[in-house]
Structure 1
Amino acid sequence: MRWFLTVLGVLFGITVFLFLDYALPSRQTVRITNTYNRLTDIGANAIFYASADAGTVQNAAGQRDVRFIDTVRPNGRPYVYRNEDTGWIWPPYFKYDSSNLHAQATDRKSTSANPEWVSVTSYGWRVSWLSIYPNAISIRSVAGPDVRPFNWPAVLILLVLGVLLFMLWRMWNQFHERSIEPAIRSADEAWDRIDAQADAARDRARGRVSRWWDWVRGR
């Protein structure tokens, strides 16, 4: 049973880590090379795209017109973002300005000969073989490719989550001390009483059997 709880705890920890890694904002310094719209097939990976509640529209073939932002990292590797509204649904970024962000990204396009570096705040993963793209949230210019803006939104969210977890832990400890432990002690005492009564009944039964056997042998 103990190994099962250990495995369950490890799986729960991995799930929480992946959830936070996907939902929390991240910041990357990149150079924008292109912006465009593309008719994209939405299928098994639909969970990684905006929900229909955010105003997205798909045709009968399950295709959606999605904005994309092509970028290049300082190490020369490409990195592609999608640009979709999130609306009031999860994750709660309340993004409604994908059109404005597309215009900002287009205005900041540059070449390797005359680069303009920007910091893109986004959430999500980039998985090429599943056609999964992080969703860009905001763009701002930085001085150069070595600039790494501090990701204070993610730190702030983690601090708030940490405080909430600490409060839940304290509440659970108090509940355990005030309710669970007395119930366990009461159950143990009741079991001890039942056990003692069973022992007494067994001793009385043995006594009766012993007296009866002595009477039989005496005849």
Structure 2
Amino acid sequence: MFGLIRWVFWITVWVLIAATFHYTLPQVDIVRVTDTYEKRVDPGENSMFWAQADVGSDGTVANRDVFFIQTRRVKGDVMVYRNEDTGWGWPPYFKFDTSNLQAEAGDLKSTEEEPRYVAIKHYGWRNEFLTIFPNAISVKPVDGPDASKGIPWLNIFIITIFLTVVYGIWVRWRRFRIARIDPTMEAIEDDLADASGAVSSWLGSWRKKS
């Protein structure tokens, strides 16, 4: 039973870690910008999936205007991105150019008859049920729908560093457990076994007297 609980615990931990990386690390989509607009939003239960108010504005106001970028992917499905500053908060993209990015996206709008494709770098998820949108970080024109998204060197670097740190911690924990914890547990088990034997001998001596 204890083994099952331990496996469930570690599976849950690694699923949460993987979800955190998938949400926060940058991704690139090749899309066609169809429209840009501004909409007032009132973050509620999904507020954790919205960034803070733009740097320099009044962050105490519950609702605020948010920029959005409407697009169509190469296969034709729709994807909508929000365009918010991240400022000095999390994730640490230090994005302060929301208005400039909205202007760039508006300038790259195109129609189905005369498409212009762009690469939008973003983080986050799109979920219609929770009304959450990925946050656009940058937008730049590309040659066409088959343009390369590039190698995600930053993602590879961050994940490699993370796994290296985890492996280092695991190695040190394993050495500590073998050197300190395992001998202590074996000594405790031996003491318990000796105590159990002594009790059994004592009880046996009383049976003989009876």
Deviation per CA, 1:5-29: give whole Å up to 9, x if none.
3333333333233222212211111
1:146 maps to which residue? 146
Distance 1:161 1:180, change over 3 A: same
- Structure with larger Rg: 1
1:93 maps to which residue? 93
2:129 maps to which residue? 129
Shift of 1:54: 5.5
Q: Does 1:185 align with 2:186?
A: yes
Q: Which has the higher helix share?
A: 1
Amino acid at match of 1:168: I
1:19 maps to which residue? 20
In structure 1, stretches of 5+ residues that fail to align are 211-219
1:34 maps to which residue? 35
SS at structure 2 position matched to 1:70: strand
1:215 maps to which residue? none
TM-score using structure 1 length: 0.84
1:52 and 1:114 map into 2 onto residues whose CA distance is 36
Deviation per CA, 1:87-139: give whole Å up to 9, x if none.
22222222222122222212222222322211111111111232210001112
Amino acid at match of 1:19: T
Q: Percent identity?
A: 37
Shift of 1:198: 1.5
Q: May I ask how many residue pairs the two structures share in their alignment?
A: 208
RMSD (CA atoms) = 2.2
Contact 1:48/1:132 (<8 A) preserved: yes
SS at structure 2 position matched to 1:172: helix
Amino acid at match of 1:120: I
Q: Does 1:9 align with 2:48?
A: no
1:76 maps to which residue? 76
In structure 2, stretches of 5+ residues that fail to align are none
Shift of 1:55: 5.5
Contact 1:50/1:56 (<8 A) preserved: no
SS at structure 2 position matched to 1:87: coil
Contact 2:95/2:137 (<8 A) preserved: yes
